[in-house]
Amino acid sequence: MNGTSIVSGGMSMDQLALALDGEVDADVENQTGLPGWYVVDLTYSPALRGPVAGDTATPADAPDIFTAVQEQLGVKLIRGKKLQPVLVVDHIERPTEN
HSE-up of 49 (CA within 13 Å, CB side)?
15
| Cα–Cα dist 26/20, whole Å | 8
User: Mean pLDDT, to the nearest integer, of 34-42?
Assistant: 93
- Position 80 scores a pLDDT of 83
Identify the residue with better confidence: 59 or 16: 16
pLDDT band at 24 (very low <50, low <70, confident <90, very high): confident
- Phi and psi for 40 in degrees, rounded to 5? -120, 130
